[in-house]
């Protein structure tokens, strides 16, 4: 009975050792596979076949999710294809995976470059500063930081100038509107004055005509009266004459 127990334990140990060996062998094969894809990607990258190199690097990542170099190289391949936003995500992920200060600094530096290409100046400046904190001796990071800061300064000055020009244009438009409004008021005032003058002239003209008609009527009436008087006198004379007969 004791021998059987020892035999079972022995067989279990052998089984565990065999399982462990399989696992180690599988990991070794995966490690060889991901390195193989990295090497393939590097060859494609050197031939400027950046899309093909990206595919190989991603295959390496699929084989080993925790392979920082594959993530970093994927970012490089994306950067060369002008896919700056996607590249930045890869570099940021690589920085979070790396414990080595120099490698983390390199990832932040490349992140800064990706942000600079995307014209995200404030963000890229922070990335360069983070890279220099990890590796203060990186001359390229110092240069790019100064370059980005100068660009940001010029951009702000340009924006300020554009705003000032816009304010001036708005003020000019407002002044033109005010002048046009005043001009319209003057025109309306002149039109009213002319209208009043015309009305006055018309009223004066009507009064003059009425006066002429009235004078003519009076003259005609006076003429009629005189004729009636003459007729009356003539009638009287004829009567008297008749009486004399």
What Å distances lie between residue 232 and 138, 221, 235, 239, CA to CA? 139, 16, 5, 11
Using 50, 70 and 90 to split pLDDT, how confident is the model at 235? Answer: low
Task: Work out the average pLDDT over 66-85.
Answer: 96
pLDDT tens per residue across span 197-234: 777 666 555 566 666 776 777 777 777 767 766 766 66
DSSP 184-217: HHHHHHHHHHHHHHHHHHHHHHHHHHHHHHHHHH
Percent of the chain with pLDDT over 70: 74
Phi, psi dihedrals of residue 32, rounded to the nearest 5° = -65, -35
**Does CATH number 1.20.1050.90 belong to domain 2-159?**
no
Using 50, 70 and 90 to split pLDDT, how confident is the model at 16? Answer: very low
Task: Work out the average pLDDT over 72-99.
Answer: 97
pLDDT tens per residue across span 128-139: 999 999 999 999
Predicted model pTM: 0.61
């Amino acid at each position: 009975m004791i021998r059987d127990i020892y035999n079972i334990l022995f067989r279990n140990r052998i089984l565990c050792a065999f399982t462990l060996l399989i696992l180690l062998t599988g990991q070794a094969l995966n490690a060889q596979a991901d390195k193989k894809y990295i090497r393939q990607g590097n060859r494609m990258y050197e031939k400027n076949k950046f899309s093909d190199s990206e595919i190989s690097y991603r295959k390496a990542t699929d084989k080993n999710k925790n392979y920082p170099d594959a993530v970093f190289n994927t970012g490089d391949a994306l950067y060369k294809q002008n896919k700056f936003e996607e590249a930045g995500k890869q570099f940021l992920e690589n920085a979070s995976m790396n414990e080595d200060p120099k490698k983390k600094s390199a990832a932040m530096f490349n992140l800064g470059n990706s942000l600079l290409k995307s014209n995200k100046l404030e963000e890229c400046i922070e990335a360069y500063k983070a890279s220099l904190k990890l590796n203060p001796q990186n001359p390229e990071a110092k240069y790019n930081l100064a370059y980005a800061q100068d660009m940001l300064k010029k951009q702000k000055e340009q924006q300020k100038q554009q705003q000032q020009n816009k304010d001036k244009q708005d003020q000019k438009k407002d002044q033109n509107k005010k002048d046009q409004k005043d001009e319209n008021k003057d025109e309306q005032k002149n039109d009213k004055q002319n209208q009043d003058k015309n009305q006055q002239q018309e009223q004066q003209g009507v009064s003059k005509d009425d006066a002429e008609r009235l004078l003519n009527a009076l003259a005609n009436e006076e003429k009629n009266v005189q004729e009636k008087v003459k007729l009356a006198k003539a009638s009287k004379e004829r009567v008297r004459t008749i009486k004399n007969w």
